[in-house]
Structure 1
Amino acid sequence: MDQNLFLLAAFTATFFAAGIVKGVTGMGLPTVAMGVLGALLSPLAAASLLLAPSFVTNLWQLLAGPNFGAMIRRFWPMMLMVALGTVPGSALLIEGDTRVTTTALGAALTLYAAYALLARPFRVPERLERVASPVAGFVTGLVTGGTGVFVIPAVPYLQSLGLERDDLVQALGLSFTVSTIALGLALGWSGGIGSDGWLASALAVVPALAGMQVGQLVRTRISPLLFRRLFLVLLLLLGLDMAFRPLF
């Protein structure tokens, strides 16, 4: 098979599969996309491709929730720090050694999967939220900028606040949307994404949305808990492979 056709097929299948995960679990599209594409491309190229499908799917998730205004008022300090942290973090993707960024991406995937599988839920007291939210946001921004993965520590932190299910899904959509915009601006401002990269990212929206539709159907037929566990195990193995690959 021609290499370009192979890459096109791989990109399409990756974003379709990532969309399925997003449709079933409400998260995971950038994580899956970075995990798979990071094995085929540089982390910078993989991060560039996920921007448009991540933005569209997460904005949809954000606006579909019931308490948009309340989410903005509650979490704007965290979102501001996500944006501020992404800018310095993106220097690792843009100028860093590919081996370093690949290892960092693998470590981020492994950490998230291991936490989600093994760690006991914890609760952040409401009195600490004013301080904890900006810290969690800034660290999330650094990780987002350096690896293209939005989930650490935003996901476990938001889960620790005891939000209702719909509010949690909407808060995750807000965090992921802000992370996507901040990463896109940081990479675009630095020249890390060419015109071809933007076009390829826009085309990836189609299989991602198709995958989301399938994922929503899958969610009605299988246990979301079982699907999530299988997904996390695969993500853990993929992250370990990427983290240690540069060493060999």
Structure 2
Amino acid sequence: MPEISLASFVALSATFLAAGWVKGVTGMGLPTVAMGVLGAWLSPVVAASLLLIPSFVTNLWQMLAGPAAPRLWRRLWPMMAGIVLGTTLGAGLLVRADAAWSAAALGTALIAYACCALAMPRLSIAPRAERWLSPVAGALTGGITGVTGVFVIPAVPFLQSLNLEKDELVQALGLSFTVSTLAMAAGLLSHGALRMGQLGLSAYAILPALAGMWLGQRVRHRIAPKTFRLCFLLFLLLLGIELVSRPWR
């Protein structure tokens, strides 16, 4: 691992502990929280690199925690293909763009996600529409992932609109996030943006992320879901506003 100050090491550990805790409570949010917080003090491309291994491990765990994974893969493969294509193409912008403007793009994605989750009712997509919307949603998600490192828009609202059972939805989110993480790794690697030192820190981040998930799962039933969700989304909204304001300071 590269040399890193004690303060940065503690901040990195605390970020992934908090992000894992959110994921343990809600089943999602680790990449969003980690990218948002890391993006406040690191360039988005470095933040995305640090996110790769803990995101892959936790989402693979989530994807495989049930019997529905093969069935979901057969149903959602067009979306996954769109994610791979959009992410690998969009990653070049994340690598080449000015750090301040990349942070602003990340902030815009966080604001959009928070506003959609707070204001939009949950939709329902008919099976006939799903056939053509699936690759479109995947490509849009991939493009936004490649540019910002955040892979929730529009994947999360799209998957929520498919009327999946609760456990199936959790696994579907795990599948989408796992594919997005692998596609992001491929995109960064193809543009020469991955460094061994970053991967070393990313591997270390598995520990606080898994500890946070364990803590989150233990307290999941002790927190009012609506209250936690509201606080979480307001936090993302404020963080997004701070990131968007950077190029104008």
Give the partner amino acid of 1:201. Answer: S
Tell me, what secondary structure is at the counterpart of 1:151?
A: coil
Q: Is the CA contact 1:66–1:166 (under 8 Å) kept in the aligned structure 2?
A: no
Q: CA deviation at 1:220?
A: 2.0
Q: Is the CA contact 1:65–1:169 (under 8 Å) kept in the aligned structure 2?
A: no
TM-score between the two structures when normalised by the length of structure 1: 0.97
Tell me, what secondary structure is at the counterpart of 1:220?
A: helix
Q: Residue 151 of structure 1 corresponds to which residue in structure 2?
A: 152
Q: Residue 239 of structure 2 corresponds to which residue in structure 1?
A: 238
Give the partner amino acid of 1:94. Answer: V
Runs of 4+ in 1 over 6 A off after TM superposition: none
User: Can you give the 5+ residue segments of structure 2 that lack an aligned partner in the other structure?
Assistant: none
The one-character-per-residue Cα deviations of 1:99-152 (angstroms, maximum 9, x if unpaired) are: 221110000000001111111111111111110000000000001111000100
Q: CA deviation at 1:189?
A: 2.3
**Counterpart-to-counterpart distance in 2, 1:125 and 1:86:** 26
**Counterpart-to-counterpart distance in 1, 2:20 and 2:160:** 22
Work out whether 1:226 is the aligned partner of 2:222: no
**Counterpart-to-counterpart distance in 2, 1:113 and 1:243:** 14
Q: Residue 178 of structure 1 corresponds to which residue in structure 2?
A: 179
Structure 1 residues 196 and 3: alpha-carbon distance in aligned structure 2, compared to 1, 3 A threshold: closer
Q: Residue 209 of structure 1 corresponds to which residue in structure 2?
A: 210
Give the stretch that moved more between structures: 201-210 or 90-99: 90-99
Q: Residue 38 of structure 2 corresponds to which residue in structure 1?
A: 37
Q: Percent identity?
A: 58
Aligned length in residues: 247
Q: Residue 55 of structure 1 corresponds to which residue in structure 2?
A: 56
The one-character-per-residue Cα deviations of 1:134-177 (angstroms, maximum 9, x if unpaired) are: 00000000011110001000000111111111111110000000
Q: CA deviation at 1:224?
A: 2.2
Tell me, what secondary structure is at the counterpart of 1:167?
A: helix
Aligned-CA RMSD value: 1.1
The one-character-per-residue Cα deviations of 1:46-81 (angstroms, maximum 9, x if unpaired) are: 000000000000000000022111001000111011
Give the partner amino acid of 1:111. Answer: A
Work out whether 1:138 is the aligned partner of 2:112: no
User: Can you give the 5+ residue segments of structure 1 that lack an aligned partner in the other structure?
Assistant: none
